Amino acid sequence: MVFGETGTERIQLNEETFWAGGPYDPTNPGGAEALPEIQRLLFAGDVAKAHDLFGRTMMGVPYEQMKYQSLGDLWLFFPGHEEVEDYRRELNLDEAISRVTYRVGGIGFTREVFSSAVDQVIVVRISADKPGALTFSAELHGSRNQAHSNYGTGYFWWEGVPPNGLRIYGKSDDYLGVEGKLRYEARLIAESEGGEVEVDYKTLHVRGATTATFVIAAATNFVNYRDVGADQVARVEEVLEKVAARSYEDMKADHIAEHRSWFRRLSMKIGDESFSHLPTNERIDRFADNPDPGLAALYYQFGRYLLIGSSRPGTEPANLQGIWNDMANPWWDSKYTVNINLPMNYWPAESGNLSELTGPLVRLIREVAEAGTSVAREHWGARGWVLHQNTDLWRATAPMDGPSWGAWPLGGAWLTTHLWDHYLFTGDEDFLREVYPIMKGSVLFLSDILVEHPQKGWLVTAPSNSPENFPARPGNGRFFDEVTGSYLKARTMAIGPTMDMQIIREVFRNFGLAARHLGLDADLIETVTAQRERLAPIQIGKHGQIQEWIEDWNEIEPEHRHISHLWGLYPGSEISPEETPRQAEAAAVTVERRGTGGCGWSYSHKMGLWARLNKGEPALDQFRALLTDSSLPNLFSLCGRALQVDGNFGATASIAEMLFQSQRGALRFLPALPAEWSKGSVKGLRARGGFEVDFSWSNSELTTARIKSHLGRRCVIRTDRRIRVTSSGRDVDLDVSESRHISFETAPGAVYHLKFVD
């Protein structure tokens, strides 16, 4: 993170495997013994006792999980640069380079910072346009956990490394009885053109130079969630040895080329970009009351940039604050929160032509499936594997944070829908065979934990919760949360919440399709198909809304940030205006009742919900609220006071959903286009079925479209307009149905042009 100050600059550093603690297993042996009594109490209506018994018997040990921790900061001190002229700070999305430029006493100064995936280093280049005019100092500081001490620095050390380097090293925090077993090393090497570089104790001085280049490498001893046996010092030395002979120009050129190989796969333009010359903070300020369609395109590409920067093949997945976390004790521990935030981070990946960047998420799913088998067995008496609402670097899967949050057992099941979606987008048969056992393991767990509701006869989950939202039912106690400024339910637990049923229906369906395709597990398909038919249905409540719980309770917080019971609309595909119009109407009532409250990622989710309801104007209203009420001036999304990148990723995905959709087996162009976005173009969006689309529109009507078929699958398009399709200059035979669909066969690698006939 580059803060862009002039006199004293801070460049904040992260190393994605630097977390508190070390390998641990929170499984609570024998927890499932209390499950029958918990279920009896729930069905008898004694929620408080069921809640307390779950807390005493089924929670993980320790009660919480580990924290992601910031590595430290590079501080740069420029005497005399407090007052400057012609200041400009920019992030070039196409180059992935941060720049700061200004003038002092008629001399121009420039800083460039980039993080190179090619060389595995952060590079800082500082230059003056007058020879010998550059004099400043630098220090490398480790991160201090002020939750443990306002003064102590007992877990990191820093020092100068003559003649031209700085070093910090140390260990991760002990936390909740889990020993901090991570060791880290970070080094900075400096070179200058002209002048001199000198190290004095812990400070590096550059005097009389024209340019100075810093190269920073960092590593921990992390190998995987069970192994911390690597040599962090050797890792850093190896990286620095490889870049020692490389010039700044070569590192920069290779960095740009590698970044563009991802970034330039897709382009987007909305409107005429009339305001692109304005600083981003000014565009956000004026956006509250003025149209700026180009800001949506910029935001979309910023989201893709963030995913490219934080999730590459071989890395850890993007977490709550991502690699921009600046605290050793971050908000919500900057973990992997699975009840929406981690999945939302990856919503834009497939359609945004960044499919390979889901690799870290897939590896996390594979690892929590391994770690979650003991929790499924010991906590639930079930086969397969389970992940509850959170996990960390150490792949903890047990319930945490208390029964009101941790009793939700559907986190792993939700994540498996990403596996199936990846297959739908890519058609990768080897991938499907590889992840099929993970999908099956989740299905076995779900099949085992379903119980019959004694009054209604439906199959339900019990215990569970509708994530983080609490019903206002009779007898509920409440407490005031000073952080959020709201009243929350102190103890709650639910039977068969709507979200659970929607996820299980989709997971069972996906598994059946995968198993039939692979010719496997016919008996299990039969079992879960029968169970799927008996699941508690979606119900419409007294307000005309989708019920969140089996009983038609109101919410304690009517504008709560979570809208879990609309999972089946988005990101799921159970509800749609065309196939389930009554449920879609109730979903619209539900989103309206939620208003524009919540925080950044909640606005983003509502954007996607409105897009799936084919409503462009309210989707744009949510985007406007996100930017003006819950974002920083640099476009980062906020949740309360905390930077949280899931809001960026969610809005990025939702912008794409407003322009193009491919769920339920059909392509849809401009399904939720607001009037302000009356013209534009997109190149490189991906669709389920292995299609890549380019299209443009004017006066809110599609004008041209091009579809490339990567897999040779049948292409189905939902449209109200007559279409002529050509390929290689020849007409393509179309099947036209009464349900406003046209379809045609495609060949692998072939390109199809759509012409609209009025």
Summarised one tens digit per residue, pLDDT across range 208-233 is 999 999 999 999 999 999 999 999 99
92 pLDDT exceeds 60? yes
- Note the pTM of the prediction, 2 decimals: 0.96
Tokens representing residue 482 in the block: 């000073």
pLDDT of residue 466: 95
Please compute, for residue 528, the number of CA atoms within 13 A of its CA located in the half-sphere on the CB side: 27
Interacting residues of 648 by C-beta distance below 8 A, sequence separation 6+: 299, 302, 303, 306, 600, 604, 635, 636, 637
The Cα–Cα gap between 659 and 509 comes to 27
Pick from 9, 4, 6, 23: nearest CA to 392: 23
137, with CB counted inside 10 A (0-12, 13-18, 19+), is: middle
Average pLDDT over residues 227-248: 97
3-state secondary structure of 444: helix
Instruction: Domain ranges for the chain, please list them.
Output: 8-19+67-264, 31-59+329-531, 675-757
- Contact 358/309 with Cβ under 8 angstroms? no
Domains 8-19+67-264 and 31-59+329-531 share a fold: no
Pick from 313, 333, 311: nearest CA to 16: 311
Segments of 615-700 assigned E as strands: 638-639, 642-643, 660-661, 668-669, 680-687, 691-698
The Cα–Cα gap between 251 and 745 comes to 46
Tokens representing residue 716 in the block: 């189905």
pLDDT-derived band of residue 663, with 50, 70 and 90 as boundaries? very high
3-state secondary structure of 624: helix
Q: Which of 410-414, 546-550, 594-598, 670-674 has the lowest mean pLDDT?
A: 594-598
pLDDT of residue 489: 52
Mean pLDDT of the chain: 94
Q: Dihedral of CA 325/326/328/329: which sign? A: negative
Strand 680-687 and strand 668-669: pairing? unpaired
Interacting residues of 636 by C-beta distance below 8 A, sequence separation 6+: 324, 643, 645, 648
The Cα–Cα gap between 199 and 124 comes to 18
Interacting residues of 96 by C-beta distance below 8 A, sequence separation 6+: 114, 115, 255, 256, 259, 263, 305, 308, 309
3-state secondary structure of 652: helix
DSSP 507-568: HHHHHHHHHHHHT--HHHHHHHHHHHHHBPPP-B-TTSSBPSSSS-PPBSSTT-S--GGGTT
pLDDT of residue 154: 46
pLDDT-derived band of residue 339, with 50, 70 and 90 as boundaries? very high
The Cα–Cα gap between 18 and 378 comes to 30
pLDDT of residue 598: 80
614 pLDDT exceeds 60? yes
641 pLDDT exceeds 60? yes
Ranked by mean pLDDT, the top range of 38-42, 475-479, 555-559 is 38-42
Please compute, for residue 660, the number of CA atoms within 13 A of its CA located in the half-sphere on the CB side: 29
The Cα–Cα gap between 204 and 212 comes to 12
Interacting residues of 571 by C-beta distance below 8 A, sequence separation 6+: 343, 347, 417, 608
Alpha carbon separation from 423 to 195, 520, 664, 699, 745 (Å, rounded): 57, 17, 14, 36, 20
Alpha carbon separation from 277 to 97, 98, 101, 287, 668 (Å, rounded): 18, 17, 17, 14, 33
Q: Check residue 654 and report its DSSP letter.
A: H
Pick from 595, 569, 573: nearest CA to 584: 569
Quick one: which H or E segment has residue 68?
A: none
Q: How many helices (H) and strands (E) does the chain have?
A: 17, 33
Residue 673: phi and psi, rounded to 5, are -90, 115
pLDDT-derived band of residue 492, with 50, 70 and 90 as boundaries? confident
Give me the torsion for CA of 615, 616, 617, 623, rounded to 10°. Answer: 120
Residue 161: phi and psi, rounded to 5, are -125, 90
Class of the CATH-defined domain 675-757: mainly beta
3-state secondary structure 213-257: EEEEEEEECCCECCECCCCHHHHHHHHHHHHCCCCHHHHHHHHHH
Q: Does domain 8-19+67-264 have CATH number 3.40.50.1240?
A: no
What distance lies between CA 355 and its chain's CA centroid? 14
Average pLDDT over residues 255-268: 98
Q: Which of 236-240, 506-510, 559-563, 679-683 has the lowest mean pLDDT?
A: 559-563
Average pLDDT over residues 656-675: 97
pLDDT-derived band of residue 481, with 50, 70 and 90 as boundaries? low
150 pLDDT exceeds 70? no
Q: Which of 350-354, 378-382, 597-601, 719-723 has the lowest mean pLDDT?
A: 597-601
Pick from 470, 534, 466, 528: nearest CA to 495: 466
149 pLDDT exceeds 90? no
Q: Does domain 31-59+329-531 have CATH number 1.10.3720.10?
A: no
- Contact 122/188 with Cβ under 8 angstroms? no
What distance lies between CA 661 and its chain's CA centroid? 19
Interacting residues of 45 by C-beta distance below 8 A, sequence separation 6+: none
Average pLDDT over residues 590-603: 90
Q: How far apart are the first and last CA of the chain?
A: 51
Higher pLDDT, 597 or 353: 353
pLDDT tens per residue, range 314-331:
999 999 999 999 988 899
The strand order across the sheet containing 97-104 reads: 85-92, 97-104, 107-116, 121-128, 211-220, 183-193, 165-171, 156-161
Quick one: which H or E segment has residue 262?
A: helix 248-263
pLDDT of residue 184: 96
Average pLDDT over residues 563-592: 97
